[in-house]
Structure 1
């Protein structure tokens, strides 16, 4: 190798500061992309209560698709995360809740003898767990009958799968569709519980 060839190689090799700048640039771009995905596309949510058992359990983590309902309508049976806004003593509080959509705007919903009726038809609910043993039907399902209610347009009636332990539309009424964050579609933690919803 000639001396002038060695000089050319040295001139072409990047300096340590250039490599460092390139890595910083890549890291900033990756973090920016991750933040955009989290804000606009996917977000992980932590399950902190029993209201969705037997579908979701305490400490499960679910992925929520935030774009889903920009592309299509919310459907009966979808598991959604929504922002429940409450005001207490002039303080506005936000809680993210996860529930199943039972009825949409325009539907009539009624609960009688432990069965959910939407538009006059009993809803098949294979996702519900076994009922508690008891003398009569109402004590077995531990769900109070609810008179017929028509869900207002642009609102949803949501319930937890663990009906006896869920704080849902039976307590706070239908929720505005605009408060829906997205559709939960997969359990991603713990690893032994990976599954689609």
Structure 2
């Protein structure tokens, strides 16, 4: 018996409806898949693009706000810039403190093994801070440059040239001709030649920042290896009244 054209069309429509019904899944079945996809994207973003950090101290005032018991700035730190180049003077960077910088650091992880495992798991996806001594400072000098303080006006010198640092609003008092080499009660340090592959960093709030100056006696003379740098601070994302870019200002361009 011959099959009519209308019968063929009816069969095609029936098969199409069957396929459509077969492809549709309940939302509760799709939800785990969506969660896994979102988690993978979050992990890749944290690992290769960037992540937020919280400012815990006042060492970068007024550029970045932070203090004990207050709502510190939340900043976004991106990693992409340093895949194709190294930090330059004026960049605000987040880095892991070298060994001699970690004497007062206490782990933020729980003593309970199960809770600690959960914290480490969520840290991988950027939902919990990493368990490391992350610090934020401004790059002042890079590998091969010589940094010291001070000239007769109290300015920091890099390769013998004074820096222009408009971001510094608070510093130790300077008396011309007074040479006091004790930190933190004084300001004089160096000269220090920054090794290749390292940077010299300082906080914008100079009299409240334990930065490279506080570690000149260690094996790295206070410098920070590039491998320790987690990324470049580019934006303040919280609180609302502080939202805005974190500007890199090269102090050597004067």
Partner of 2:114: none
- Which sits farther off after the overlay, 13-22 or 111-120? 13-22
Residue 165 (structure 2) pairs with residue 152 (structure 1):
no
**Structure 2: how far apart are the matches of 1:159 and 1:146?**
12
Q: Which runs of 5+ in 2 are unaligned?
A: 1-10, 67-71, 108-131, 179-184, 216-221, 247-254
Deviations 1:44-69 (A, max 9, x none): 11100010001001110111112221
The alignment's C-alpha RMSD in Å is 3.1
**Structure 2: how far apart are the matches of 1:186 and 1:151?**
28
Partner of 1:62: 75
Residue 213 (structure 2) pairs with residue 170 (structure 1):
yes
Runs of 4+ that moved beyond 2 A: 4-24, 85-89, 91-94, 134-138
Question: Following TM superposition, by how much is the alpha carbon of 1:13 offset from its aligned partner in structure 2, in angstroms?
Answer: 3.5
Partner of 1:30: 38
**Structure 1: how far apart are the matches of 2:199 and 2:188?**
19
- Asked if structure 1 preserves the Cα contact closer than 8 Å seen for 2:154 and 2:174, the reply is no
- Asked if structure 1 preserves the Cα contact closer than 8 Å seen for 2:170 and 2:205, the reply is no
**Structure 2: how far apart are the matches of 1:82 and 1:32?**
25
**Structure 2: how far apart are the matches of 1:165 and 1:149?**
21
Deviations 1:159-189 (A, max 9, x none): 0000100011101211111111111111111
TM-score, normalised with respect to structure 1: 0.83
Higher alpha-carbon Rg: 2
Partner of 2:8: none
Determine helix, strand or coil for the equivalent of 1:13.
helix
Residue 104 (structure 2) pairs with residue 96 (structure 1):
no
**Structure 2: how far apart are the matches of 1:49 and 1:24?**
39
Q: Which runs of 5+ in 1 are unaligned?
A: none
Match for 2:163 among 123, 141, 144? 123
**Structure 1: how far apart are the matches of 2:170 and 2:224?**
27
Match for 1:41 among 49, 57, 68? 49
- Asked if structure 2 preserves the Cα contact closer than 8 Å seen for 1:60 and 1:190, the reply is yes
Residue 34 (structure 2) pairs with residue 13 (structure 1):
no
TM-score, normalised with respect to structure 2: 0.65
- Asked if structure 1 preserves the Cα contact closer than 8 Å seen for 2:91 and 2:232, the reply is yes
Partner of 1:183: 232
